[in-house]
Amino acid sequence: QVQLVESGGGLVQAGGSLRLSCVASGGTLSREHMGWFRQAPGKEREIVASIMWTGTTTYYRPSVKGRFTISRDNAKNTVYLQMNSLKPDDTAVYYCAARSGYWVATTYDYDYWGQGTQVTVSS
């Protein structure tokens, strides 16, 4: 059973940066596609970015493209989300997730989910 633990969240001013990490235990992520999702209060969970298990293909939702970067280090069983130029609208709980099988950039059908890390961007 793969367990995912996110870290790196916090409070930051608009325009600032944070780097989220997602570390896996109980299994390897080397063959898993990974995704970062977020959920703001009163809103549905939405996909932020995803990365193929090879690391060669990524997806970003339009509102974060050019500001966020997803990456992975399979040797460390870790996936990252570098977030720059943060905006108050980025405030949410951020979750990482893992899935196997075919690559589908915008799917929400993931096998494993972390507990989330809070990101708060002040104006």
Tell me the two tokens of residue 25.
Answer: 């235990």
pLDDT digits (tens, 9 = 90+) for 52-83: 999 999 999 999 999 999 999 999 999 999 99
- Give the model's pLDDT for residue 30: 87
Is 117 in contact with 93 (CB distance < 8 Å)?
yes
Phi, psi of 88 (to 5 degrees): -55, -30
- Give the model's pLDDT for residue 115: 97
Question: How far out from the chain centre does Cα 91 lie?
Answer: 14
The burial class, CB within 10 Å (0-12 / 13-18 / 19+), for 87 is middle
Q: Which amino acid makes up residue 36?
A: W
- Give the model's pLDDT for residue 1: 84
Task: Flag whether pLDDT at 97 surpasses 90.
Answer: yes
pLDDT digits (tens, 9 = 90+) for 10-57: 999 999 999 999 999 998 888 999 999 999 999 999 999 999 999 999
114 falls in which pLDDT band (50, 70, 90)?
Answer: very high
Phi, psi of 54 (to 5 degrees): -75, -20
